[in-house]
Structure 1
């Protein structure tokens, strides 16, 4: 048991924060596993939600399946890191504390490297980001009847931000799955419903256009065909840059404190054991 006041504070701060993250990680992992194993019970329970329209969209089988794997991966990652930190602190284990500290160091360095690289190669980063998002539309975006996680994500983003595609409605001319299924149905749909100006009387998840002809003949007056989501998001980030910087600094600061606390406690434990070994 460490006797140093500073090391004791570090111990209990690490225990507290990592216990919170441990519980959150366990919950996320549990929900993800539940969705992957038994989608039917989830759909059955969530259909009693008051947000019925949103639930029906989110409980599409492919959305559930893809979301489950994301939750499992995220939950397992948080679970492992917080487990190392909590157990290392409560048991005063130098091995676990060192492993925890090294993991946080790696994560912090990766985040800093990404920020630096994005600043240095800003133009290339923008180009690759646009190409990646356009690739998701070209390869994965489909119709509302065959909605998956990618399609649903795009639809909610376009409806919420009042935008269409990455650069504009022309992106959907290259959407292989979207074009294939609209042609099979003989509808000749040009843009998704989420690109249109939506009827506020309906829930956002319904994606009900004010003008039913919008999906076949979009115009500036009935859709957001010329307003790309990339530029919309970019403008939003620039306008809230101070908030973004504060959040980023706070996240990195918390990680640095975690590293300092972990290695200080590790050193205190080592010094105490050396002292006990000598006497």
Structure 2
């Protein structure tokens, strides 16, 4: 009877250990995005609901599942358990297929997602000119974002603030009058609206997610190969 290859066995263990670490990284980064100060400043308004965080919540779940699968793969390799290896293979294959499907859908509907982001920002811009008390938290979050990124308003600049422009002291105040400022309502304010900075912020987060997903896909394919080879070798013992 053929014996189990020690090289395959321990390679399987190493790759699953890396897979388990990837799960931890995904989980940690997703939580960081979920609770990070920048994210809170943009999405903390109750008017935006929980939808901006839906993808991040999914990543948290995926990170936890990957950690479980990595554990199954490690134990299956060391204990030479065909049951654990089969569960690992099936779970890993499903995740890989979901990643591919998500990537295809993301590419196909990229223009649609850009449209949704634009519509969300245009609707959110209306909240800056309201005097409703429930919108104050969102307005204060935008003020903090404006100071950090040196921009004003969400879409149309200082005009977005309407009559509230005079209500906040130092709103959009710009000191560099020669480069990035414009004159509005008796004040020098930042000329650039925050929409471009918000889109850039979202794109940077997306690049992080894509980079992680690509690196993870390579490890997943190797894990599938090693797990099936080891599974067959154990069956031939």
Q: What range is the shorter-chain TM-score in?
A: 0.5 to 0.7
Aligned to 2:101: 109
Contact 1:158 1:165 in 2 (8 A): no
Contact 2:8 2:230 in 1 (8 A): no
Given the alignment of the two structures, is residue 79 of structure 1 paired with residue 64 of structure 2, yes or no? yes
Shift of 1:111: 2.9
Q: For residues 171-230 of structure 1, what are the alpha-carbon distances to aligned partners after superposition, in whole Å with 9 as ceiling and x for unaligned? A: 344xxxxxxxxxxxxxx523785851279xxxxxxxxxxxxxxxxx95485322x42222
Aligned to 1:177: none
Shift of 1:259: 2.1
Shift of 1:265: 2.4
Unmatched 5+ stretches in structure 1: 36-53, 174-187, 200-216
Q: Write the distance in 2 (CA, Å) between the matches of 1:125 and 1:73.
A: 17
Aligned to 1:212: none
Contact 1:172 1:190 in 2 (8 A): yes
Contact 2:20 2:70 in 1 (8 A): yes
Unmatched 5+ stretches in structure 2: 78-83, 176-182
1:18-33 mapped onto 2 (5 Å cutoff): 18-19=20-21, 21-22=23-24, 25=27
Q: Write the distance in 2 (CA, Å) between the matches of 1:115 and 1:84.
A: 28
Contact 2:158 2:172 in 1 (8 A): no
Give RMSD over aligned pairs. Answer: 4.9
Provide TM-score, normalisation by structure 2.
0.59
1:22-61 mapped onto 2 (5 Å cutoff): 22=24, 25=27
Aligned to 2:148: 160
Contact 2:27 2:59 in 1 (8 A): yes
| Aligned residues between the structures | 205
Provide TM-score, normalisation by structure 1.
0.52
**3-state secondary structure, aligned to 2:102:** helix
Shift of 1:252: 4.0
Q: Whose relative contact order is higher, 1 or 2, with alpha carbons under 8 Å and at least 6 apart?
A: 2
Contact 1:104 1:255 in 2 (8 A): no
Q: Residue 188 of structure 2 is aligned with which of 200, 215, 222?
A: 222
Shift of 1:4: 5.3
Shift of 1:125: 4.7
Q: Write the distance in 1 (CA, Å) between the matches of 2:107 and 2:236.
A: 43
Aligned to 2:165: 190
